[in-house]
Homo-oligomer: A and B are copies of this chain.
């Protein structure tokens, strides 16, 4: 019998946490939101993810038999002590608004665990802007986010890839924030999914990268104001990605 894959779901956990709402609201207002709508948005996040996005991501993985724990920015060492990392086969990463508050030394520790020891790494959504992902890529990872709710259609370009298993040719997420190409990353080893939105935007939304001993899978859909991580297809992709990134554990 094989031991279950050990997954750590890391979440910034500021949008869903009232103690940070002042900061979050000011950030949104600096992006052009009115105070009123900033308040509405922050409160909306908590309604969707009352226990944090990490809880929503972790629950279906637990049901599938993975050994799952969570970690968040405000914990000591951001919840990613050397011991936690050593006990992690795959690290899922959701971050958005305070990437720069993540400690450099701990980013380096996470990076080392990936490239030197083969921990899998699955950044979701704007996890692409995290220090760890940018260091792995060697490029800016810049993309044009378009702050607009729109349905995202996701196509399985490599339908035989293990991360596309159990999904059809395409599926729709009713509302997501739009990201658009060009996206400044090295050519991925495999592009599994491409997304489009009604305005014509496109994005390589599921991309594999081998970096040192570690497998990296970026999955684009997200945004804290929509219930994306409760959707069955999204959960399926994440579970598939964990199995793929676990490196034969």
* B-contacting residues, A167-222, CB 8 Å: 169-170, 172, 180-184, 186-187, 189-191, 194-198, 200-202, 204, 209-215
The residue on B at minimum CB distance from A169 is: B182
Measured between C-beta atoms, what is the minimum distance from A175 to chain B in Å? 14
How many identical chains are in the complex? 4
* B-contacting residues, A116-159, CB 8 Å: 116, 118, 135-140, 151, 153, 155-159
* B186 contacts A194, C-beta separation under 8 Å: no
A100 interface contact, C-beta 8 A: no
Q: Which of A157, A184, A214 has most B Cβ within 10 Å?
A: A157
* A200 contacts B153, C-beta separation under 8 Å: yes
* A212 contacts B182, C-beta separation under 8 Å: no
**A residues contacting the other copy or chain, number (CB 8 A):** 50
**Across-interface contacts of A201 in B (CB, < 8 A):** 196
* B212 contacts A194, C-beta separation under 8 Å: no
* B155 contacts A213, C-beta separation under 8 Å: no
A50 interface contact, C-beta 8 A: no
**Across-interface contacts of A151 in B (CB, < 8 A):** 200
A160 interface contact, C-beta 8 A: yes
**Across-interface contacts of A181 in B (CB, < 8 A):** 155, 157, 169, 194
Neighbour of A210 across the interface among B160, B170, B247, CB < 8 A: B160
A115 interface contact, C-beta 8 A: yes
Q: Which of A153, A160, A248 has most B Cβ within 10 Å?
A: A160
CA gap between A115 and B139 in the complex, in Å: 7
A residues neighboring B (CB under 8 Å) = 115-116, 118, 135-140, 151, 153, 155-160, 162, 165, 169-170, 172, 180-184, 186-187, 189-191, 194-198, 200-202, 204, 209-215, 247-248
A-B contact list, 19 entries, CB within 8 Å: A118-B160, A135-B138, A136-B138, A155-B181, A157-B182, A157-B183, A158-B187, A158-B210, A159-B182, A160-B215, A160-B247, A172-B200, A186-B209, A186-B210, A186-B211, A191-B191, A194-B204, A196-B202, A202-B202
